[in-house]
Chains A and B, each alone.
Chain A
Amino acid sequence: MRDQHRRLRFSRREFLRGAGTTLVALVVPSVWARPGRAAGTDPVVVSIFLRGAADGLSLVVPHGDPDYAALRPTIKLSPGTTLDIGGFYALHPSLAPLQPLYQNGSLAILHAVGSPDPTRSHFAAQDTIETAALGAHGIATGWLNRYLATQSVTGSFAGVSIGSSKALALAGSAETISLVSLDTFQPGAFLSAERVVAWQAIFDAWPDQRLSQASDEMLAAAAVVSSVSRETSVTYPDTDFARSLRDVAALIKSPVGVRALTVDLNGFDHHTNANAQMPLVAGTLADALAAFQQDLGTHASRTLTLVMTEFGRTAAENGGGGADHGHGSVMFALGGGVHGGRVLTKNGQWPGLAPENLFEGRDLAVTTDFRDVFAEILRRHLGVADPSLILPGFAADPVREPGLWT
């Protein structure tokens, strides 16, 4: 009996080899991860989404606007408490770790930026930005995935979402994966070759091919993750967001071929009590970003980090010491050789907070379309000759780009 079993096992392996499958290879890290390869030199995009509609007027305060203070009697920030960046604007005090990056020119700020779509639904607006497709509910692919699809990249680690599910920005035909963290993804001996062979055969026979696709991703991820060094000399803050960025840096520094990554930071929906809430989340953001940028070291010049949110909040505060859903907000562009140390607005003009300048009479206007920001990143940082091919229904025009690299 025993001999018979051994023969069977052997025959199955032989059968698999005969079919040209790489299943067994998949669980051998040295084959998959090619550790001999040098760390990449390709450009990388890190997309950080501030979920909940971050208040751009508190993150980057327009002190020079004569209407600002009166609109926000209890949640305004006074000039004495904020960090001045050039007179008109000032950073929220909790963004202090970003000030040196602004001063040394590696951080650029975009203001009055957002989606021209007027929706104030978190979910519709997040989808619009991640798909970069206005009013096109049929489009279920993300802009970063469509970018990856145009590149000759191999392996699912080209696109990585840090989180329990894949960000829409990375969904699509190009292989990408999501991971909660490098630490929680350590399958070890559980992925024995025999189990893997059985799963693959079972999942391949199942009509819903998403299952076998997920299984392939799982095996690839297991192999790659085990090859990623998580050592760093930088001390990160003790937050989940910082741990996510530490993993992002580890992946960028490892030769696993990452090109686009996404991380979320929740907690920006400040309908009430913004004075207590904003310092916490702004601090979480800035502390982690500063550590991350330091950790990237020589990879900082090829890594552009773009921080965005779905929309801003009303110019006037509401009755609860917060602000409701608004329109224009801010973006931060860090590293990747941007010409930083500047707050970029359309034609250098601040749209203003006077009643007649507000969008629908209540919100900071959007004068820079987020797609013009994406277009510039695609063209200047990622080397895509015609960003229109990646931004559906959008005629990209370098003239409208905000000028992150000029």
Chain B
Amino acid sequence: MTRNAMIDEWYPVGLASQLDAHGRKTALMGEPIEVKRGEDGNAKVTGGNGRTLPACIRYGHVWSSLGDPQKPLFAIPEADQPGRRLVDVGVVRVRCSPLRAVENFLDIAHFPFVHTDILGAEPHTEVQNYKVEIREDEDEVWATQVKFYQPQAAKSAEGGITTEYMYRVPAPTCSILYKTCPPRPGEWDVITLFVQPLAEDLCDVWPWMALFDDDTPMTDLIHFQQTIFLQDRSILENQIPGLLPLDPGMEIPTRADLTSVAYRRWLKRHGYTYGAQLVAQ
């Protein structure tokens, strides 16, 4: 039995804004943990046997790890850019593999069917060719030049536009989406999906955003993202098989799925298999 390579990764375990001295009980990869504000004011995360776990606060969330992270949490340079509104969307519990939650986030072909009239609409269903690579220096999966027609790309969008996307996977259960920013051409809105693996088939999903949008009320921004993600949840909880298959099996990938193919390959290469199945069924 080899060591679980995902054990040394950072995971979101709560909102920084909700840290308190009382603490919050949650779980990480099957182990009960507690997240609270320590006496020194910093986040304190305690494992099931009372041991202190690594902790840091970044991008609106508390991050922790059951193991020994070999590098700091991935960078999102845009998060520190002046003028952005940082949106804590909150948490959605989903009965699915944490890897499935990320893979669905990387998929655009489902927009017209799952997020009908918001992120996509028939007959604008075509996924044009885009570029996918595993960037060796950063050790991240990237998809660029992704274009899709969207009836309402963002809360701030009026009418349909062709939106351009870039996707980044810097950690096995985290993805960052860069998206055309309607009020500020030339900049990218940042929408992230931070996934806390509670078990191989259960996760808490913490979407987070860093947007150029000074007008939309915060409540509306949160509602928009929650609406989208709840539509995804009904899909995620019904996927078969529940664990993400890393070997070719019954599924038939097309060109539109190249990001998913690269993500699965990258997971397998690193042995990131918590929430995955290796033998095709």
Q: Do A and B actually bind? A: no
Residues of A near any B CB (own CB < 8 A): none
Residues of B near any A CB (own CB < 8 A): none
